[in-house]
Amino acid sequence: MNLDTDPWSDLKDNASPDMAMIGRIGVLPHGMTSGNAAVCVAIQTADGKTIIAQTSWKLLNAAVKAFRVRYGDPEIDAFRTR
């Protein structure tokens, strides 16, 4: 994952990350075929539809770690500014 380039460049011209909103995030403890935990996200589109997306906890955790390295930890940063 290249955090310094536009992560949406491969999507269609009419797609934009602000066209929908995450409504819920949850974990299915054995949701993957392997038996590992899955993270599910309910995405609410502007036209009222709800889409459920799923990824492994392992993949999401790796992405969060990479984001933290690149952009910092918002909880720690908020504490430091107090």
Task: Look at 2 and 50; give whichever has higher pLDDT.
Answer: 50
Taking the C-alpha atoms of residue 62 and residue 49, their distance in angstroms, rounded to an integer, is: 29
In a domain, 48, yes or no: yes
- The whole domain housing 37 covers 20-80
Q: Any idea which residue has 């997306």 for tokens?
A: 53
Find tokens 């933290």 and name the residue. 68
Residue 28 lies in a domain: yes
Question: Is 51 contained in some domain?
Answer: yes
Contact 31, 40 (CB under 8 A): yes
Which stretch of DSSP H or E encloses residue 63?
Answer: helix 57-71
Report pLDDT digits (tens) over 3-42.
556 666 676 666 665 678 899 999 999 999 999 999 999 9
pLDDT digits (tens, 9 = 90+) for 59-81: 999 999 988 988 888 887 766 66
Give the burial class of 58: count Cβ atoms within 10 A of its Cβ; 0-12 exposed, 13-18 middle, 19 or more buried: middle
Residue 14 placed within a domain: no
